[in-house]
Structure 1
Amino acid sequence: MTSTAPKTAEDLFRFLDSLHIRHVTKNHAPVFTVAESEGLRDEIPGGHTKNLFVKDKKDQFFVLTVEERATVDLKTVHKVIGASSRVSFGNPEKMMEYLGVVPGSVTVFGALNDIDGRVTFVLDEDLMKHEIINGHPLSNDATTSIGRDDLVRFLEATGHRALVLKVTD
């Protein structure tokens, strides 16, 4: 376990720049739920995400990144993502330790903080139909827009394989 301070949005932007990945970020009031974030839709085009930080009984952790209005069946999703058992939500301590974020800020960009590769990142097939994907840049007071293919490149550059699977109903 590595104990370094979590990376910030600025660290994320520098990392994306180093990969020559185009990104646009819009600052806004903190949003904790999909319902709160829906007011931003007209201002920010693309696929908006909901992220679930889950774990199985063997303490394998996953971030499921899906379209914001999609539903994930937590009773069956383990069969799709390769978990050893049904999944439950990961606790805030592990969320901070592995992703460097607090509840309400879970994001695919947390891969930047998962330097030990403890988390598997799953991108929903339906979400990946959008050319632009939006997610929190490690805090929920901004939204970062990035190209779909660049999101996959970002994950690979952090040492993670982007699993694109059908995890929504």
Structure 2
Amino acid sequence: MPKTPEDLFAYLDSLDISVRTIKHPPLFTVADSQNLREDLDGGHTKNLFLKDKKDNFFLLTVEQNAVVDLKQIHHVIGASSRVSFGKPEALMELLGVIPGSVTAFGVINDTNGRVKMILDAALMEHDVINAHPLTNEATTAIARDDLIRFIEATGHEPVILKVSD
């Protein structure tokens, strides 16, 4: 059973990580989330759940307006071949979320460490990162260093790479 936002907040609290969350109507696209910029400072995320032909999975978390060259990104992230978007079933199985709710916080559900977590270097220039807390009906602001600490606590190695143009 995938973790709930409440489970996520309890886990963050157990790590002594402070976050700020605002609830809002469901957001499905970056355009939908533009209005939040006034309420939450920092970098706002866009997430790409990708897989290669050998069923290696990658979660790329980039700034919401970042452009990622999907035809070339496999060279940067260490994929075995060109990548495609992971299917919704794999997204639910591995990260416990549905399309539209993909988030770096999803690694809390990847207990077998099958997803490689990649953070874009440009996003990591922000002191605060904003991401969905396992649902697209809220946005959570977390300090950059606390996001890295959270990812590491889930057993994942956050890889910071320049993945956007």
Task: Name the TM-score class by shorter chain.
Answer: over 0.9
1:90 maps to a residue whose letter is G
Partners of 2:36 and 2:145 in 1: how far apart? Answer: 23
Q: Give the equivalent residue in structure 2 for 1:99.
A: 95
Count of residue pairs brought into register by the alignment: 165
Gaps of 5+ in 2: none
Which aligned segments of 4 or more residues in structure 1 are displaced greater than 3 angstroms?
Answer: none
> 14, 20, 31: which is aligned to 2:16?
20
TM-score, normalising length from structure 2?
Answer: 0.99
Q: Give the equivalent residue in structure 2 for 1:122.
A: 118
> 11, 27, 36: which is aligned to 1:31?
27
Partners of 1:71 and 1:55 in 2: how far apart? Answer: 18
- Say yes or no: does 1:133 pair with 2:106: no
Partners of 2:8 and 2:77 in 1: how far apart? Answer: 26
Q: Could you tell me how far 1:22 is from its partner in structure 2?
A: 1.1
Partners of 1:48 and 1:63 in 2: how far apart? Answer: 16
Deviations 1:92-128 (A, max 9, x none): 0000000000000000000000001110010000000
> 39, 55, 58: which is aligned to 1:62?
58
Partners of 2:4 and 2:57 in 1: how far apart? Answer: 21
Q: Percent identity?
A: 65
Aligned-residue RMSD, C-alpha: 0.4
TM-score, normalising length from structure 1?
Answer: 0.97
- Say yes or no: does 1:43 pair with 2:39: yes
SS state at 1:153 partner:
helix
Partners of 2:82 and 2:18 in 1: how far apart? Answer: 37
Partners of 2:142 and 2:156 in 1: how far apart? Answer: 17
